[in-house]
Amino acid sequence: MEKALINITEGGCIWMHDLIQEMGKEVVRQESPTEPGKRSRLWFHEDVNHVLTENTGTDMIKGIMVNLPAGLESDEVCLNAESFSKMKNLRLFINHNACLSGEVDYLPNELRLLSWPEYPSQSLPAIFNPKKLVALTMPRSCILRLDLEFKSLKFINLEHSKFLIKIPDFSGVPNLERLNLNYCTSLVELHPSAGFLHKLVKLSLRGCRSLTLFPRIVNLKSLLHLNLDGCISLEKFPEIKGKMESLKYLDLSETSIKELPSSSIRHFTHLEEMDLTGCENLTNLPCSIYELKHLKTISVCKCSKLVSFPKMAKSEDSRSAESLVTLQGGNLAFPKLSMFFVGGSNLLDIADFLLTLDCMTTLTILDLSGSNFVSLPLCINNFVNLDELWLVNCKRLREIPDLPQSLKILYVSDCISLERVSKLSNILERKESQMFMEMRLSNCWRLRNNLVRIAKKKNMFINQVNLFSLFLLSQQSFVTVEFPGNGIPKWFSYRKDLKDLCECQFSIKTSRNFNWENKGIYFCAFLENTKNRLQYHIKRSIREFAVDIYVNEICLDNIHSTMKESSLVWLSYFPFHDLMWRMACTKRNVKRTWVMPPYLPTIQVHFVRVSKAVKSCGVHPVMPPG
């Protein structure tokens, strides 16, 4: 497969070797060496420009792709009313990056694919009737209205068409499968016929902030994905008639919906993901939510008016019809739940609610950020496969006891009262050896000071900046820590104050007897006066051991930090074998097995500062004991 000239990727795309492409292009060029308008396909930008502006196209042309080279993207190609008039057999028109201006009165009816970002006209030509058109892609267009009488059409993409106010009757596109109207900010309503598109698989209206009316859903039996994220004017959830057994993904985040009708929710019998993040007007959830036994992800983050989940009666004694839920497979609360996000909401008695869940073996990510408890609920240990735990901004939290052994990631930034994390104390006291894979402890000053006291009692050399090196020295795998600090640790052998520099490079010399085994490298960055969190991206060279690190800051809304500006240190350890394995896995045609080079005289590390909050950086090669 690595030597194949034509390949099909996992995503279903056809990948073709450059030699095959060049051979195909030459075959087409030979169709008419001197007259591009008489060829079957056009892709060279000068030929395309000539044909479109000089009206030299013919019915020989079946495909046009406009892809301007770097530096020419801003050049305007001025069309005229007759630019396409002679191309009766044009099937494919794809504009990648050209600025096409002017009005066209004609588009060929033989078109199968029309991809024209920033389409300049307010409507399609009046006589355009492409009975074979399959895909219409016009993001960022000037379209005001769209008459849909395209029986073969399966895909529509009009995202960021800010002038689009209303979509007409969809009955003319009965085979539509995907409809993308993301960020059509003037769109007020969706035509009622949209609720009858029985072949529709994906419907996305993300960021349609003016949308107030969503049609009644009558026959969307094929719908897999419904996205209304950011429809801030939408207050009422659509009425559902009939089961929607195909629906797996429902995103209602950042809408103004006040409630989810029980009669509608119970139709989503195979729903797997429900995102209600930022629904600030949502006050309650219906009991029918427990009928959704296939749910794997639930997010009610930042639902400030939601104070509790509905009670689920598991006995036959309850007389309340609203509190008694009888499930076909038994009274189980979210038996397949894998990710549960409640951070930033105001849920009361969260510990008691966690005890009622039936996902002890399936839950892998739990977000309890912003909760009001003093000590972490002991029931957390019941989730035996928990991988990530988020406790950001739990201001009253003082102690985190023993956690599930499976836990790899712990976020406790801005837990200003936190004094003890059992695992960290146990590592210093040599009761445990294995560290979390990732940990964020920004603004946890009380915790840090307590750990310093423990280290000093154990006669460990300690100061304010090398505390967390004690937790990393015993590691055999990748680990990263973010903690309060004032600069790069002094024990780092390579440090650099960036000042006005945007980048710096370290060349680390190695000895002749350098052995890759059991060795690794620390990367470090110091951020000053920031409310955000560090973001890094690592690029690796496969021909020599060289690492490019892009360091930035990012505002992570789902981390729920509300603290003021602070300073933090990011410290990450990569074993060499892990770093090289990751490198090998990211390259096309490179096997996952990677043989370490016997000797490299230098290790190159290149830091690139994206954010000015990053003040300094450092590198330190190490050999962990054991």
Average pLDDT of 126-139? 92
Contact call for residues 488 and 572 (beta carbons, < 8 A) = no
Average pLDDT of 126-151? 89
Half-sphere exposure of 410 (CA within 13 A, CB side): 26
Cα–Cα distance, 551 to 504 (Å, whole number): 12
Non-local (6+) Cβ contacts of 180 within 8 A are 156, 157, 158, 159, 202, 204
Lowest-confidence pick of 220-234, 262-276, 448-462, 562-576? 562-576
Strands 6-8 and 14-16: antiparallel
Helix (H) or strand (E) holding 350: helix 350-356
pLDDT, tens digit, 9 for 90 and up, residues 376-422: 988 999 999 999 999 999 999 999 999 999 999 999 988 999 999 99
Q: Look over the chain and give the mean of its residue pLDDT values, rounded to a whole number.
A: 83
| Chain centre to alpha carbon of residue 294 | 22
Q: What are the φ/ψ torsions at residue 392 (nearest 5 degrees)? A: -60, 135
Q: Would the pTM count as exceeding 0.85?
A: no
The confidence score (pLDDT) of residue 551 equals: 59
The confidence score (pLDDT) of residue 17 equals: 84
The confidence score (pLDDT) of residue 442 equals: 81
DSSP letter at 313 equals B
Our CA dihedral for 372, 375, 378, 381, rounded to 10 degrees, sits at 90
Q: How confident is the model at residue 592 (pLDDT cuts 50, 70, 90)?
A: very low
Q: What are the φ/ψ torsions at residue 326 (nearest 5 degrees)? A: -105, 115
DSSP letter at 115 equals E
Contact call for residues 213 and 236 (beta carbons, < 8 A) = no
Closest by CA to 215, choosing from 243, 186, 232, 236, is 236
Q: How confident is the model at residue 239 (pLDDT cuts 50, 70, 90)?
A: confident
pLDDT, tens digit, 9 for 90 and up, residues 71-90: 777 778 899 888 999 999 99
pLDDT, tens digit, 9 for 90 and up, residues 154-213: 999 999 999 998 887 888 899 999 999 999 999 999 999 999 999 999 999 999 999 998
The 3-state secondary structure of 187-236, one letter per residue: CCECCHHHHHCCCCCEEECCCCCCCCECCCECCCCCCCEEECCCCCCCCC
Percentages of the chain per state (helix, strand, coil), in multiples of 5? 15, 25, 60
- Most confident residue range from 110-114, 521-525, 620-624: 110-114
Q: How confident is the model at residue 322 (pLDDT cuts 50, 70, 90)?
A: very low
Q: How confident is the model at residue 321 (pLDDT cuts 50, 70, 90)?
A: very low
The confidence score (pLDDT) of residue 317 equals: 40
Cα–Cα distance, 332 to 293 (Å, whole number): 8
